[in-house]
Amino acid sequence: MLSIEPTESQQMIADTARQFAARVLAPRAAELDVSGGFPADSLAQAAELGLLGINVPGDLGGVEAGAVAYALAVIELAKVCASTTVAITVSNMVAEVITKFGTEAQREEHVPKLCGGDYVVGGFALSEAGAGSDPASMRTKAVKTDRGWVLSGSKLWITSGTDAGLFVVWAKTSDAPGSRSISAFLVKGDAPGVVRGKPEHKMGQHGSTTTPLDFNDVELGDDALLGEVGHGFKIAMMALDGGRIGIASLATGCGLAATDFAADYARERRQFGKPIASFQAIQWMLADSATELDAARLLVLRAAWLKEQGKLFTREASMAKLFASERAHTACDRAIQVLGGYGYTREYPVERYLRDVRVTRIFEGTSEIQRIVISRDLLRRQSAAH
Ligand SMILES: Cc1cc2nc3c(=O)[nH]c(=O)nc-3n(C[C@H](O)[C@H](O)[C@H](O)COP(=O)(O)OP(=O)(O)OC[C@H]3O[C@@H](n4cnc5c(N)ncnc54)[C@H](O)[C@@H]3O)c2cc1C
C-alpha cells in the first residue's frame, strides 16, 4: 500500500540527500548562480554517496532505493541547488534507461560508470532546433554500415552537454514517417566527431550547462544501439515518464525552499509596528503555497509509488509534473511578494528560486504537452468504459 510516511530506508536516502545538500551544495549555490559553469566537484561527491544511481540495482553500482526514495532525495537536493540537481536527475534517468533497455554487456559497461561518476554524468540528447515538443520530427540520422552505424546531425538544449561522458542520442534509422523510424544510441562524449557547443545563456539554473551537440559522421559499433531498431521513440517516452517524476520533485523542492524562506522572513520583518506574518494577506499567501506544494508532493509520491510497483504511471507522472511545476512557480513568485523589494534583489535567494523553477514548466515536456498526455489517457479510458 502507498504510505504517506516514508519507510526507514526511504527516509535514510532523503536524509543523505539533505545532509549532502547542506554540506556541499549550500555553500556554493549562490556563487554558482552568479559564476555559472558546471559543478563537477559537487557531482563527484554526489556519486560517492550513490546519488547518481538511486533507483539502479546494486549489482550495477546503484543504491537500489526505489522511485519513492529517489523523489524524496530530489526534493531535498532541489531545496538547495536546482542547477546541480538537474544534472543529477538527468544522469539518474540515463542510468535507469540503460538498465531497462540495455543488453547485459551495455548495462555492465556503462551503468556502473554512470553511478560511480566515471562518466561525470550522463546526458539525454533528444531535442533538436526544429524538434522540441514534437521530437519525432527530428533530423539527426544514423545510417547502417558494415561495421555499425554512422551518426550525423545536431541536438540542442542538452543538459550537462559540456561535461557528460555518455549520452543517449536519438536518431532516425529509416525514412519511414513517424516514430517507428527512430532508434536510440549510446554515444561517448569523447567519440571522434562529437562536438560540444557553447552553453546557452539562460534565465536560471546557471550552474547547469545546456548546450548544442553536433555529430559529424560519428562512427558507432553495433553495440551502441540501445534497444531494437525502430523502438527508440518508445524508449524516449518511457524514460521521460520517469524523468517527469524527477522534474516534478525538483520543482516541489524549489517551491518548498522559497516558501520556508518567506515564512521565516515574515516572522522577522516588521511593518506598522508588527511582524508582517501577523497580516492576513501574508498568512494566506503562505497557506496557499503550503497547501499546493503538499498536493504537489503527494502527486509526485503517488507517481513514484506506481512506478516502483511496476504499474502504469504515464498519466500520473504528467499530472505530477504539470501541477508541481506550475504551483511551485507560483509559490516562488509569492515568496518574492512576501519579501517585497528585498525579494527582488540578489541579497536573498528567492529570486534565484523563481528563475530556477521557471524551466520546469518547459523541459521534459512543456505544461501544454503534459495536458495532452493527461487528456489523451483520460479520453481513452472514458471511451474504453463505454
Ligand atoms: C534549460 C533546458 C534544458 C533542457 N535539457 C534538455 C535535455 O537534456 N535533453 C533534451 O533532449 N532536451 C532538453 N531540453 C529541451 C526541452 O525538452 C524543450 O525545450 C521542450 O521540450 C520544448 O520544446 P521547444 O523548446 O522546441 O518548444 P516548442 O516545441 O517549439 O514549443 C513552443 C510552445 O508551443 C507549445 N506547443 C507545442 N506543441 C503544442 C501542441 N501540440 N499543443 C499545444 N501547445 C503546443 C509548447 O507548449 C510551447 O509553449 C531542455 C530545454 C531547456 C530550456
Our answer to whether residue 364 is catalytic in this structure is yes
Q: What average pLDDT does range 118-129 have in this prediction?
A: 98
Extract the C-alpha cell encoding 111: 551503468
- CATH number of the domain enclosing 249: 1.20.140.10
Assess whether 106 and 42 both reside in one domain.
yes
Of all protein residues, whose CA lies closest to atom 12 belonging to ligand 1?
127
Whether residue 205 is found in the same domain as residue 110: no
Q: Tell me if 349 is assigned to some domain.
A: yes
Ligand 1 centroid distance, CA of 143 (Å): 27
Q: Check residue 154 and report its DSSP letter.
A: E
| Ligand 1, atom 48, residue with closest C-alpha | 366
Q: 90 and 34: one domain? A: yes
Distances (CA, A) of 301 to 132, 155, 320: 27, 32, 9
343 pLDDT above the threshold of 60? yes
Domain assignment present for 1: no
Same-domain status, 345 and 297:
yes
Pocket test for ligand 1, best of 88, 126, 133, 156 (most atoms within 8 A of CB): 133
Residue 178 lies in a domain: yes
For residue 332, is it within any domain? yes
359 CA to centre of ligand 1 in angstroms: 10
330: in domain: yes
For residue 223 the three cell numbers come to: 553495440
6-32 pLDDT, tens per residue? 999 999 999 999 999 999 999 999 999
* Percent of the chain residues past pLDDT 90, beyond the cut: 96
| Same domain as 374, residue 281 | yes
Query: Do residues 122 and 198 lie in contact, with contact meaning Cβ atoms separated by under 8 Å?
Result: no
Give me the mean pLDDT over the 174-190 stretch: 93
DSSP label at residue 64:
-
Residue from 265, 269, 314, 262 nearest 293 by CA:
262
- CATH, residue 86: 1.10.540.10
pLDDT confidence band for 303 (50 / 70 / 90): very high
Residue 386 confidence (pLDDT)? 81
The confidence band for 383, taking pLDDT boundaries of 50, 70 and 90, is confident
Alpha helix (H) residue ranges in the chain: 8-20, 26-35, 40-48, 66-78, 82-101, 104-116, 232-268, 280-308, 314-339, 350-358, 367-385
Backbone angles phi, psi at 230, to 5 degrees: 85, -5
Pick the atom of ligand 1 nearest to 369's CA.
47
Asked if the structure places residue 249 within a domain, the reply is: yes
In the chain, what's the furthest Cα-to-Cα distance?
Answer: 80
pLDDT at 3 over 70: no
Tell me, what's the pLDDT at 12?
A: 97
Residues 245 and 372 in one domain: yes
Length of the chain in residues, anyone? Answer: 386
Tell me the pLDDT band of 179, cut-offs 50, 70 and 90. Answer: confident
Output the CA 264–ligand 1 centroid distance in Å.
35
Residue 377, pLDDT above cutoff 90:
yes
- 347 Rama class: left (phi>0) / alpha (psi -120 to 50) / beta: alpha
Specify if 2 maps to a domain: no
128 three-class SS: strand
* pLDDT for position 231: 97
Residues 91 and 216 in one domain: no
Are 131 and 221 found together in one domain?
yes
Domain count, the chain: 3
d(CA 251, CA 192): 36
Do both 252 and 227 map to the same domain?
no
Q: Domain range for residue 306?
A: 234-385
Cell numbers standing for residue 83: 542547477
Q: Which of 75, 102, 121 corresponds to the end of one domain?
A: 121
Q: Is the pLDDT of residue 1 over 80?
A: no
Q: How far apart are CA 209 and CA 213, in angstroms?
A: 12
Assess whether pLDDT exceeds 60 at residue 240.
yes
Dihedral (C-alpha) 334, 335, 338, 339: value to the nearest 10 degrees? -140
- Selecting among 76, 128, 292, 364, the annotated active-site residue is 364
Please state, for a pLDDT cut of 70, what percent of the chain lies above it.
99
pLDDT interval class at 2 (50, 70, 90): low
Quick one: 137 and 182 in the same domain?
Answer: yes
- The average pLDDT across 38-67 equals 98
pLDDT at residue 177, as a whole number: 77
Instruction: Please indicate, yes or no, if residue 245 is contained in any of the structural domains.
Output: yes
Q: Are residues 295 and 240 in the same domain?
A: yes
What is d(CA 237, CA 87) in angstroms, rounded to the nearest whole number? 19
Average pLDDT taken over every residue of the chain: 97
The last residue of a domain, from among 72, 90, 121: 121
| pLDDT number for residue 36 | 97
Does the pLDDT value for residue 188 go beyond 90? Answer: yes
Average pLDDT over residues 218-227: 98
Domain identity same for 306 and 283: yes
Mean pLDDT for 256-263 is: 98
Cβ of 352: how many Cβ atoms within 10 Å?
25
Q: Which atom of ligand 1 has the smallest separation from the CA of 364?
A: 17
Tell me the per-residue pLDDT of 56-94, one tens digit each, with 9 for 90 and over. 999 999 999 999 999 999 999 999 999 999 999 999 999
| Rounded-to-integer distance, Cα 56 and Cα 175, Å | 35
User: C-alpha 283: how far from its chain's center?
Assistant: 31
CATH code assigned at 211: 2.40.110.10
Pocket of ligand 1 (CB under 6 A): 90, 124-127, 132-133, 157-159, 202, 205, 210, 359, 362-366, 368-369
> Looking at ligand 1, which residue's alpha carbon is closest to its atom 26?
132
Q: 362 C-alpha to center of ligand 1: Å?
A: 6
The alpha carbon of 361 and the centre of ligand 1 are apart by a number of angstroms equal to 9
The residue among 63, 96, 121 that closes a domain is 121
